[in-house]
Amino acid sequence: MKILFAGDASNMHNCLAHQLRLMGHEATVASDGSRWMNTHRDINLVRGPGKLGALRYVMAIKRALPLMTGYDIVEIASPIFLRLKPHRIARIFDYLKANNGHVVLSALATDMVYYDACHDGHTFRYSDYRLGDEPSPYVGSSEYIAQQQDNWKEPFMREHSDHILSGVDGVVACLYEYYAAYKPLMGDRVVYGGLPIDTDSLEFRPLEKAPDKVRLFIGIQRDRHVIKGTDRLLAAMKRIHDRYPGITELDVVENLPYDEYTRRMRDSHVILDQLYSYTPATNALIAMAQGLVAVSGAEPEFYDLIGEQVNHPIINVSPLVEGDIDRKLSWLVEHRDQLPAMARASRAFVEKHNAAPVVAQRYLDYWRSLQNSD
C-alpha cells in the first residue's frame, strides 16, 4: 500500500511509517516533527515565528501538495493537522480527499469530539478538564488560555470539525479515551489502533536485583505542565524524595528532543507520566519498553478494551483520591525488591500490545477493510 501521514504527534505517525516500510509498503510523513521533539519527516512542514514564518509555511505547503497525491490512504493527525486557520485546513483536506484514495482520521489529540466527551458528565470520571463534577486545575490556567481551548465552543470550530468528520472514511483511535469519545458518534467507523512503539530500537535493560536507590524520572512539556498533571506528579516526587532521602533520586527533564529524551530515561527505574489519563501514553510506553515501571493511567476500561486480563504492570494513580500518588510511590520505594519483576512485566506488556508491527498490522487491517468495502 501507499500511505501518506499528514501531521504527527509524539512521533506516532513517523513510527508507524517506519514500520510500514519494513513491511514492504510505501509511507510518507508530512509534518513539523512533533515540534520540539524534532522527529523524522519526509516533507518538512515547520512553521516559523512571525509573519515571515507564516508566509514560508504557506509556501512550503503549496510546494508539498503536488507530492501529496496518489496515495491509497491519507491518515490525518486530528482535524487540525496543519498550523493554519480551520477554513484553510478545510480546503487542503478537500484537495487531499479529491486526489487520493481513502482519508482516515487519527484520533490522537484534543479535538471537538474529545472536548465534548470530557464535558458531558458521563463519558469519563475524570479528564484533563473535569475531576468528577469540578473543573480540573487546567481549566482557567494560563496554559488553557494560551492554547485557546475555549475555541472548541465556537461555531467556526464546530463547523470545521463537522466538515472533517463528514469527509473522512473512518477514525483510528490511539488511546482508550479517544475511542470512548468517538464511539457514540462514529459507531463502526471508529476502531482502536493503539500507540506504536519501536521496541527493536529500545534496549531492554532488566534489573537483576532491587536497586539501592530508586530513581524517579519525569519529563515535563513546558506548555503542557498543568494539563498533563505533571505539576502534581512532580510535587509528589519531591515529597517522596524528602521522605526517603537516602534511597531515592530524582531526574527531571524538560522539552527534550525525542532521541535525547529516550536516552535520558534509561538509567531510571520509575517514570511518572500523565495524571489525568485512563491509558498509558507514548512516554510511559517508551519507558516500559526499556524496563521502567510506569506510574500513569491504567483504568479497568483500558485493560478491557485491549483484552488484557492478566498482565497489569502500570501503577494507576487516581487524581480523584487524596494522597493516592504519594501512597503508591511510597509503596514502590518500600517494595523496590518488586521492581525487577515489574520491569519484565512492563516490557512484555509493550511487546504484546504496542510493538510497532502489532499496531501497524491493526492499521493495515482497517485500511484494507475500507478498500474491500468499496
Domain boundaries, the chain: 2-196+356-372, 199-353
Q: How remote is the C-alpha of 235 from its chain's centroid?
A: 23
Q: Residues for the chain: how many in total? A: 374
For domain 199-353, the CATH architecture is: 3-Layer(aba) Sandwich (3.40)
| 64 DSSP assignment | H
From CA 36, how far away is CA 193, in angstroms rounded?
A: 25
SS3 252: strand
Chain position carrying cell 510518507: 28
Provide the pLDDT for residue 27. 98
Identical fold for domains 2-196+356-372 and 199-353, yes or no, is yes
Provide the pLDDT for residue 354. 98
In the chain, alpha helices (H): 12-22, 50-64, 86-98, 112-119, 142-146, 155-167, 176-186, 230-243, 258-265, 282-289, 300-306, 324-334, 339-353, 356-372
Provide the pLDDT for residue 116. 96
Tens-level pLDDT at each residue, the chain (374 residues): 999 999 999 899 999 999 999 999 999 999 998 887 788 999 999 999 999 999 999 999 999 999 999 999 999 999 999 999 999 999 999 999 999 999 999 999 999 999 999 999 999 999 999 999 999 999 989 998 888 888 888 999 999 999 999 999 999 999 999 999 999 999 999 999 999 999 999 999 888 899 999 999 999 887 788 989 999 999 999 999 999 999 999 999 988 887 888 889 999 999 999 999 999 999 999 999 999 999 999 999 999 999 999 999 999 999 999 999 999 999 999 999 999 999 999 999 999 999 999 999 999 999 999 999 98
Query: What is the per-residue pLDDT across 109-166, written as a single tens digit (0 to 9) for each?
Result: 999 999 999 999 999 999 999 999 999 999 989 998 888 888 888 999 999 999 999 9
CATH class, domain 2-196+356-372, is alpha beta
Vertex 282 angle, CA 355 and 340, to 5°: 70
Of 289, 366, 305, 356, nearest in space to 106 by CA: 366
